[in-house]
Amino acid sequence: MKLLRVIITLFSITLANASSFNGSDILANDNAGKNMSNSVNPHVAFYSIKADEIRATFIPYGARLTHLLVKDRKGNPQDVIVGYDKGDAYINDTETVHSYFDAVVGRYANRIKKGTFEIDDETYHVPKNENNGTNTLHGGNIGYDQRNWTVISYNESSITFMLEDVGYEDFPGNVITYATYSVKANKKPSTLTTRLVSIPLDGATPIMLSNHIYWNLNAFTDARDPTVLNDILSMPYSNRYIKTDKYLVPVGDISLVQYREGTDFTTPIDLGTNIKEADGVCGPKCTGLDTAFILDRPRYSNPESTDLVILKLQSNKTGIKMEMKTNQQSLQIYSCDGQDGTIPVKRSQQHGNGTTYLEQYGCVVIEPQQWIDGINNLQWGQNEFQVYGVDTQPAVNFALYEFSSIE
Of 300, 283, 299, nearest to 291 (Cα)? 283
Q: Which of 267, 211, 229 is nearest to 363 (CA)?
A: 229
pLDDT, one tens digit per residue, over 127-149 is: 999 999 999 999 999 999 999 99
Burial status of residue 293 (CB atoms within 10 A of its CB: 0-12, 13-18, 19 or more): buried
In angstroms, rounded to a whole number, what is the distance separating the alpha carbons of residues 26 and 58? Answer: 11
Q: Is the pLDDT of residue 16 over 70?
A: no
Asked whether residue 304 carries a pLDDT value surpassing 60, the answer given is yes
pLDDT at position 306, please? Answer: 87
Closest listed residue to residue 328, CA positions, set 233, 232, 235, 257:
235
Q: Rounded CA gap, 287 and 289, in Å?
A: 7
Average model confidence (pLDDT) across the chain: 91
Give 236-283 pLDDT, tens digit per residue. Answer: 999 999 999 999 999 999 999 998 899 999 999 999 999 999 987 887
* 367 catalytic per annotation: yes
Active-site residue identified among 212, 323, 359, 402: 212
Q: How far apart are CA 377 and CA 83, in angstroms?
A: 34
Tens digits of residue pLDDT in 185-215: 777 799 999 999 999 999 999 999 999 999 9
30-61 b/e (C-beta count within 10 Å ≥ 16 → b): bbbbebbebbeeebbbbbbbbbebbbbbbbbb
388 contacts 205 by C-beta, under 8 angstroms? yes
Judged by average pLDDT, the poorest of 1-10, 19-28, 222-231 is 19-28
pLDDT value at residue 39 = 56
- List the one residue out of 329, 333, 341, 335 whose CA is nearest residue 380: 329
Q: For residue 234, what pLDDT is reported?
A: 99
The pLDDT > 70 percentage for the chain reads 90
- For residue 169, give its domain range: 2-405
Name the band, by pLDDT with cuts 50, 70 and 90, for residue 405. Answer: very high
CA dist 369 and 257 (Å) reads 19
CATH of residue 125: 2.70.98.10
- 15 or 192, greater pLDDT: 192
Q: Is the dihedral of CA 152, 157, 26, 404 positive or negative?
A: negative
- What type of residue is 95? E
Give the confidence band of 9 by pLDDT, cuts at 50, 70, 90. Answer: low
Q: Are 397 and 368 in contact (CB under 8 A)?
A: yes
pLDDT tens digits, 380-394: 999 999 999 999 999
How confident is the model over 296-316, as a mean pLDDT?
Answer: 92
For residue 391, the cross-strand partners are none
**Quick one: CA torsion of 54, 59, 63, 66, rounded to 10 degrees?**
-50
> Mean per-residue pLDDT for 66-83?
98
Q: In this predicted model, what pLDDT tens digit does every residue of 105-132 receive, in sequence order?
A: 999 999 999 999 999 999 999 999 999 9
Q: How many CB atoms lie within 10 A of CB 381?
A: 10
Q: Which of 169, 359, 367, 402 is catalytic?
A: 367
Question: If pLDDT is split at 50, 70 and 90, which confidence band does 349 have?
Answer: very high
Domain count, the chain: 1
